[in-house]
Structure 1
Amino acid sequence: MGRGRQPQPAATALRFTAPAGTFTARRGDGVVRATGIRYARAERFAPPVPEPPAAGVVDATSWSPACPQPPAPELELVVTDPMGELVADEDCLRLSVTVPDDADPGSGLPVMVWVHGGSYVSGAGDAPAYDPAALVREQRVVVVAVTYRLGVLGFLGGHGRPANLGLLDLLQALRWVRENVAAFGGDTDAVTVFGESAGADAIAHLMAADGARGLFRRAVVSSAPLGLSRGRARMSDAMAAEAASLPATGPVAAVVEAQARVAARARRYGLAGAMPFGTQYGSPPLPAEEELEAAWARSAPEVDLLVGTNSREVALFVALLPPAARLARTPGAGRAVERLVRALTRRIYARDAERLARRHRAAGGRAALYTLSFGGPGALPGAHAIDLPLLFPHRPTWAASPLLAGIPWEEVEAAGREVRRVWAGFARTGEVPADVPPFLRVDRG
């Protein structure tokens, strides 16, 4: 078993009464948490159906289960005990709300809805690596963490099955937030979606999605692999053909076990095959690929955007491949590896972040573009996911990470306070504060 966070004793329980029902929460660590709340249900390979209001009092003191997913040994190399005590359950359409311990329904606090990453195949909203307590305590915001369907269950359609189910899950979660978050002290007119990696990619696509209008006012898109999002139709079709025989009922373990076989069909499709599962254009709620930019333009005046990348995203993936890591430490070859890191970081992440910011501004929206380069001796400065321990400083998870090697935890905490201040400031105002830390470069347009 892992070493995840445990529910607080029942003596600390509180209640929130919202349109969706009355929820028993728990106080601890300077915050109050209502966890594992259903926002929808779904049959396998079917769209989500909103959860009706609950009768009676709902116990919201258990973590949201994770979507069933194959093992991810690479996560164990980056974080300690990445899933903690979370269980996996196909009935995973849940969210958790964390508020300052003195919040009440009239507080009107900014709301930040977290969409986790993991290449659309791994992770969970309540994973310890995303513990929002520090962000909530320091910045007096409400954080809602969403768990949604992944992999073949959530991000592969075709051959008679709907695509983008995980994206539809997120839309349903945002509808729940709009209808209920005021009861937890949140301001429904100040909802910011924020996410990293695949979570950020999902947010960028929510900005173009049918049915998303009015569900959020601001978006933080961090390290989105938008360079892999186009030209995927043939790859997705090949994967869908492989997945067509997967059962729509019965034990989910057989579906999860088959996911590697389905993903293997993507290998012949070049760089896009590095993230085989993802959004599919032309299937609800997304427009056809050729209509994507027009859809983004329509939403731009209504959504403030903070978009950016870390300076050396691909350095993490080099470090996780032993032959490449050894090569990177060789003086002559190391320089060539570094050039490759910079080139692929631009190709997969930075170039399209810049394009998104430019298009957003041209269409009448406000957009700030950032580059984050935090790191230190022996660590992986500017690597993919280096922003996560800054936003969510759960020490048991992050202290031993190679991302932070050689960096005293006190420096991580100090840098994290700055990043949390900037992110929460954007959530309040739609603008990046004038004073930002030296490792964060911002183009305000």
Structure 2
Amino acid sequence: MTVAGDDVSRSRPEVRTRSGSLRGSLEAGVAVFRGIPFAEPPVGALRFAAPRAVRGWSGVREAVAFGPPPPQGGHFGMDALARETVGEDWLTVNVWSPDPGPGAGLPVLVWIQGGAYTIGMSGLPEYDGGRLARDGGVVVVTFNYRVGPEGFGQIEGAPANRGLLDQIAALEWVRDHITAFGGDPDRVTVFGQSAGGGSVAALLAAPGAAGLFGRAVAQSAQGTFFAPELAADITGACAAELGLRATVADLSGVAPHRLAAAGDAVGAEAARHGGRWGKPALRSVTFSPVVDGAALSVTPWQALTAGAGRDIDLLVGHTRHEQRLLTALDGLLGQVGEDVAAQTLDAFAPGPDGARAYRDAHPEAGPDELHELVLSDWLFRMPTLHLAEAQAAAGGRVHAYELTWPAAPGMDGVLGACHGLDVPLVFGNLDRGQPAALIGTAPEAEDLSAAMRAAWTSFAAQGDPGWPAYDRDRRLVRLFDAAPTVTAYPEERSRLIWRDHAFPVLPLLQRGNPEGQIPGR
């Protein structure tokens, strides 16, 4: 770190990387470098291509502003946010370091944001890494990756999983450059939530990511992985919205925001494709990693069962009421009737007797709770738990947790421990960004956030978050609540219902296949 004799120079730390020198800013004692390119802009001839290593530069590059986000869908106004920042350098990283310099040797936490593989940008205030870096003594890295059709559309003439390839390229950048920021490239932990957690799971299975991280944290991992045929059919529908085919030749001339909007249009009408797309259509899940035989040959659960993560320390967990916020966003909170609950159980519960198994296991549950339980389990809770089960079965080390503290106490806890609540708690950003609205003014939030940050940074530093490892006998997990405890996994009824489910690759279905029909439609 360059320290000059005056206050202005001290507030502008500099580092020298292999690509060139960078000048950042000093914020609350943490050196911050934003908008550092890790790959060439994926536009023009490089659009829909695998990421290409960035060229170096001469002189000192200013690194004080986030790079422009990738084109994306309009959920939560993200498309408008993306278009506010002009430029094509979509693939950039940001670094927060409490001790920049090649000799510090600090643990590194690399964050992958979620957003259903359709939205997401690293420059959101909830992902500010300053507090996590400062209080935990770690280097925090965030980055952009391509989403929606740009990143996960199955396009003829283009490699699949371009968003996943971007993530691998960002991790390669960390391996090659993080020493300059005080990080230890041999102590890299990748962590992510929702689609970011699903991405972490995918990276555990991806041969191209081997050796790029030694620890991994999957928070509420999204469990959808597509067959190439399903991904191609969905992307074909997106191209058809524009009167085109899903080929590089046809789509390369389409403005990125128009292609993202076409993805939104297909997502909004996904349910009518249920006969071909099956369960993803019912939840408007239009993009996911593709098990294509190249970037991914098997699902994460298959990979972990076979021992792919045996040498990687793993921390996994979910919130108790994953679905509840999503139900509220659907306008159905407190409005789910018996007919909707029955349709949901028939569509998503595993096996031919899954719906009956839920009703037998939860005789006290009304339609709202049954709807919430099975959707929470299908998309987030059981895919995440099965990562722990697979890792433990293969002899790898894994720790597990569940967040049970209820969100937004000012709303009488109606949202419960909902999806996304863990993000502000883990980063410590309790008063900024959209997820902070879930926190409210609860006084215990600070203590809970401190406990989660301490666990994550301890895991990054030592591989131990502070409670016993998960095994298939005791199944001990940490419950994060106002008074955190360690206990046997509390969602035992769901675990038993899903214990024989393999979370297979989601296929393209034939019209008329009962598994692909939408009950009640």
TM over 0.5: yes
Give the deviation of 1:12 after TM superposition: 1.9
Contact 1:83/1:128 (CA < 8 Å) preserved in 2?
no
1:169 and 2:166 equivalent? yes
Verify: 1:386 aligned to 2:421, yes or no.
yes
Offset, 1:339: 2.6
In 2, the alpha carbon distance for the partners of 1:205 and 1:262 equals 25
Q: State yes or no: 1:91 paired with 2:89.
A: yes
Give, in angstroms, the shift of residue 85 of structure 1: 10
**Aligned residue number for residue 404 of structure 2:** 373
**Structure 2 equivalent of residue 14 of structure 1:** 13
Deviation at 1:249, TM superposition (A): 3.4
Preserved CA contact (<8 Å) 1:367 1:444:
no
Q: Which moved more, 1:141-150 or 1:351-360?
A: 351-360
1:133-172 equivalence runs, <5 A: 133-172=130-169
Secondary structure class of the residue paired with 1:236: helix
Of 144-153 and 297-306, deviating more is 297-306
Amino acid at match of 2:234: M
How do residues 187-226 of structure 1 correspond to structure 2 at under 5 angstroms?
187-226=184-223
Q: Name the counterpart of 2:324.
A: 315
1:297 to 1:431, Cα distance in 2 relative to 1, 3 A: farther
Matching residue of 2:294: 284
SS of 1:48's equivalent in the other structure is coil
Q: 1:88/1:222 Cα in 2 relative to 1: closer, same or farther (>3 Å)?
A: farther
Q: Deviations over 1:359-414 (max 9, x none)?
A: 11222311112111122542322100010111223344358855234x42x43222
**192-201 or 262-271: bigger deviation:** 262-271
Which segment drifts farther, 348-357 or 145-154? 348-357
Which of 56, 59, 62 is equivalent to 1:56?
A: 59
Cα 1:433–1:288 shift into 2, 3 Å: closer
Question: 1:10: how far off?
Answer: 7.9
Give 2:251's aligned amino acid: P
Amino acid at match of 1:47: A
Structure-1 separation of matches of 2:36 and 2:459? 27
Partner of 1:3: none
Question: 2 CA distance for matches of 1:143 and 1:85?
Answer: 26
1:255-274 maps to which residues of 2 (within 5 A)?
A: 255-263=259-267, 266-267=270-271, 268=274, 269-273=277-281, 274=283
Whole-Å separation in 2 of the counterparts to 1:352 and 1:402: 27
Q: Is the 8 A contact 2:146 2:163 kept in 1?
A: yes
Whether the aligned pair in 1 keeps the contact of 2:161 and 2:289 (CA below 8 Å) is yes
CA deviations over 1:154-189 (Å, ceiling 9, x no partner) = 011143332100000010110010011011000111
Quick one: which amino acid aligns to residue 196 of structure 1? Answer: Q
- Give the aligned partner of residue 302 of structure 2: 293
**Does residue 448 of structure 2 align to residue 415 of structure 1?**
yes
The CA distance in 1 between the partners of 2:391 and 2:466, in whole Å, is: 20
Query: Which position in structure 2 is the counterpart of 1:31?
Result: 30
Question: Structure 1 residues 305 and 24, CA, compared in 2 at 3 Å: closer, same or farther?
Answer: same
Tell me: CA distance 1:99–1:444, structure 2 relative to 1, closer, same or farther (3 Å): farther
Matched, 1:252 2:260: no
**Residue type matched to 1:285 in 2?**
A
Q: Structure 2: which 5+ runs fail to align? A: 1-6, 240-245, 342-364, 469-477, 490-521
How far the C-alpha of 1:417 sits from its partner, in A, is 0.9
Residue 242 (structure 2) aligns with: none
Contact 1:303 1:365 in 2 (8 A): yes
Q: Distance in 1 between matches of 2:301 and 2:177?
A: 31
Q: 1:229-240 to 2 correspondence within 5 Å?
A: 229=225, 232-240=227-235
Residues 200-223 of structure 1: CA deviation (Å, up to 9, x unaligned): 101100111122111000000000
Q: How many residues are matched?
A: 424
In structure 2, do the counterparts of structure 1 residues 238 and 84 end up closer, same or farther at CA, with 3 Å as the change threshold? closer
CA contact (8 A) 1:303 1:366 kept: yes
**Cα 1:259/1:89, change in 2 over 3 Å:** farther
The residue that corresponds to 1:70 in the other structure is: 73
Shift of 1:130: 0.9
Match of 1:241 in 2: 236
SS of residue paired to 2:445: helix
Inter-CA distance 271–311: structure 2 relative to 1 (3 Å threshold): same
The TM-score, its normalising length taken from structure 2, stands at: 0.75
Per-residue deviation, 1:443: 7.1
Letter in 1 for 2:22: F
Tell me: CA distance 1:89–1:413, structure 2 relative to 1, closer, same or farther (3 Å): farther
Alignment partners' CA distance in 2, 1:84 and 1:442: 41
Q: Structure 1 residues 156-165 or 394-403, which shifts more? A: 394-403
SS at match of 1:394: coil
Using the TM superposition, give the Cα deviation of residue 125 of structure 1 relative to its aligned residue in structure 2, in angstroms: 1.1
Query: In the alignment, which residue of structure 1 is the partner of 2:311?
Result: 302
Distance 2:235 2:263 in 1: 11
What secondary structure, in the 3-state scheme, does the structure 2 residue paired with 1:314 have? helix
Which of 45, 58, 63 aligns to 2:48? It is: 45
In 1, Cα distance between equivalents of 2:10 and 2:103: 24
- The question of 1:428 aligning with 2:438 is answered no
- % same residue: 32
Structure 1 residues 282, 296: CA separation in 2 closer, same or farther (over 3 Å shift)?
Answer: farther
Q: Distance in 2 between matches of 1:191 and 1:114?
A: 11
Q: Which has the larger radius of gyration?
A: 2
Deviation at 1:256, TM superposition (A): 2.3
Q: How far apart, in 2, do the equivalents of 1:73 and 1:138 lie? A: 30
Please, which moves more after superposition, 260-269 or 117-126? 260-269
What does residue range 339-350 of structure 1 map to in structure 2 within 5 Å?
339-350=370-381
SS of structure 1 residue aligned to 2:116: coil
Is the contact between residue 300 and residue 361 of structure 1 (CA under 8 Å) also seen in structure 2?
no
Residue in structure 2 matched with residue 4 of structure 1 by the alignment: none
RMSD across aligned positions (CA)? 3.0
Relative distance call for 1:301 and 1:370 in structure 2 (3 A) is same
TM-aligned CA deviation for residue 265 of structure 1? 6.9
Q: Partners of 2:488 and 2:38 in 1: how far apart?
A: 36
Q: Secondary structure at the match of 2:333?
A: helix
CA displacement, residues 7-37 of structure 1 (integer Å, 9 cap, x when unaligned): x988721100122221111101231111100
